[in-house]
Amino acid sequence: MAPASKLMSLSEAIKRYVPDGAEVVMGTSLETMIPFAAGHEIIRQRKKNLTLIGPISDILFDRLIGAGCVRKTRAAWVGNVITGSSYNFRRAAEEGTLETEDHSNLTISMALNAGAMGVPFMPALTALGSDLYKTNQSLKKITCPFTGMMLTAVSAINPAVAIIHVQRSDEFGNAHMWGNLGVTREACLASRHIIITAEEIVSPGAIESDPNRVITPGFRVDAVVHASWGAHPSPVPGYYNRDHNAFIEYRNESKTSEAFEKWLRLWVDNVKSSDDYLRLLGKERIIKLELKNHLLSEPVDYGY
Amino acid sequence: MATDTAGYTLSELMVTAAAREIADGEVVFVGMRLPLLGFLLAKRTHAPDAVGIYELGIVRDSPAPEPILTMGDLPNLFRAKWLSDTSDVMGLLQNGTVDVSFIGGAQVDRFGNLNTSYIMSSGKLATRLPGSGGACDLAGLSQRHIIIMAHEKHRFVPTVDYITSPGYGNGAGWREKSGLPRGGPSAVITSRGIMKFDPVSKEMLLVSIHPGVTARNILDNTGWPLKIADTLIKTPVPTEYELKVLRELDPEGYWTGS
Summarised one tens digit per residue, pLDDT across range B16-75 is 999 999 999 999 999 777 888 899 999 999 999 999 999 999 999 988 899 889 999 999
Does A103 contact B174 at a Cβ distance shorter than 8 Å? no
Residue A299 counted as domain residue = no
- The least confident of A138-142, A265-269, A300-304, B104-108 is B104-108
Helix (H, G, I), strand (E, B) or coil at B4: helix
Instruction: Please indicate, yes or no, whether residues B231 and B242 belong to a single structural domain of this protein.
Output: no
Which residue is closest to A86 within chain B, CA to CA? B130
Instruction: Please indicate, yes or no, whether residues B65 and B106 belong to a single structural domain of this protein.
Output: no
CATH number at residue A251: 3.40.1080.10
Range A214-238 average pLDDT: 98
Look at residues B167, B155, B104, B151 and name the one whose alpha carbon lies nearest to residue B130. Answer: B104
Look at residues B93, B104, B22, B81 and name the one whose alpha carbon lies nearest to residue B55. Answer: B93
Instruction: Please indicate, yes or no, whether residues B43 and B125 belong to a single structural domain of this protein.
Output: no
CB atoms within 10 A of CB A140: 14
- The pTM for the full model equals 0.96
Using the Cβ of B32 and the Cβ atoms of chain A, whether some distance falls under 8 Å is answered with yes
Query: What pLDDT sits at residue B224?
Result: 98
Instruction: Please indicate, yes or no, whether residues B106 and B227 belong to a single structural domain of this protein.
Output: yes
Query: What pLDDT sits at residue B239?
Result: 96
Instruction: Please indicate, yes or no, whether residues B115 and B91 belong to a single structural domain of this protein.
Output: no
Convert the pLDDT of each residue in A115-153 to its tens digit.
999 999 999 999 999 999 999 999 999 999 999 999 999
Residue A1 counted as domain residue = no
pLDDT category, B255, cuts 50, 70, 90? Answer: confident
Instruction: Please indicate, yes or no, whether residues B83 and B112 belong to a single structural domain of this protein.
Output: no
Is residue B128 predicted with pLDDT exceeding 90?
A: yes
Instruction: Please indicate, yes or no, whether residues B106 and B174 belong to a single structural domain of this protein.
Output: yes
CATH number at residue B41: 3.40.1080.10
Residue A297 counted as domain residue = no
Which A positions 42-81 lie with beta carbon below 8 A of chain B? 55-56, 75-79, 81
Considering only the beta carbons, identify the residue of B72, B132, B166 that sits closest to A102. Answer: B132
Range B133-154 average pLDDT: 97
Does A180 contact B84 at a Cβ distance shorter than 8 Å? yes
Instruction: Please indicate, yes or no, whether residues B222 and B108 belong to a single structural domain of this protein.
Output: yes
Expressed as residue numbers, the domain containing B68 is 1-98+237-258
Which residues, 6+ apart, have CB-to-CB distance to B75 below 8 Å? B64, B65, B66, B67, B68
Has B55 been annotated as catalytic?
Answer: yes
Instruction: Please indicate, yes or no, whether residues B187 and B148 belong to a single structural domain of this protein.
Output: yes
* Domains: count for chain B: 2
Does A180 contact B57 at a Cβ distance shorter than 8 Å? yes
Which residues, 6+ apart, have CB-to-CB distance to A86 below 8 Å? A59, A61, A62, A78, A79, A80, A254, B130
Expressed as residue numbers, the domain containing A35 is 10-289
Query: What pLDDT sits at residue B1?
Result: 47
Instruction: Please indicate, yes or no, whether residues B178 and B145 belong to a single structural domain of this protein.
Output: yes
Residue type, A251: R
Using the Cβ of A31 and the Cβ atoms of chain B, whether some distance falls under 8 Å is answered with yes
Using the Cβ of A153 and the Cβ atoms of chain B, whether some distance falls under 8 Å is answered with no
Is residue B5 predicted with pLDDT exceeding 80?
A: no
* Domains: count for chain A: 1
Residue A178 counted as domain residue = yes
Instruction: Please indicate, yes or no, whether residues B17 and B112 belong to a single structural domain of this protein.
Output: no
Beta bridge partners of A23: A51
DSSP 8-state symbol, B206: E
Residue A117 counted as domain residue = yes
Is residue B3 predicted with pLDDT exceeding 90?
A: no
Does A235 contact B84 at a Cβ distance shorter than 8 Å? no
Name the percent of chain A lying above pLDDT 70.
Answer: 99
Is residue B127 predicted with pLDDT exceeding 80?
A: yes
Residue A115 counted as domain residue = yes
Residue A20 counted as domain residue = yes
Is residue B2 predicted with pLDDT exceeding 90?
A: no
Is residue B4 predicted with pLDDT exceeding 60?
A: no
Residue A2 counted as domain residue = no
Beta bridge partners of A240: A236, A290
Range A24-36 average pLDDT: 98
* A174 φ, ψ (degrees, to nearest 5): -85, 115
Which B positions 55-114 lie with beta carbon below 8 A of chain A? 55-58, 65, 69-74, 77-79, 83-87, 90, 93-94
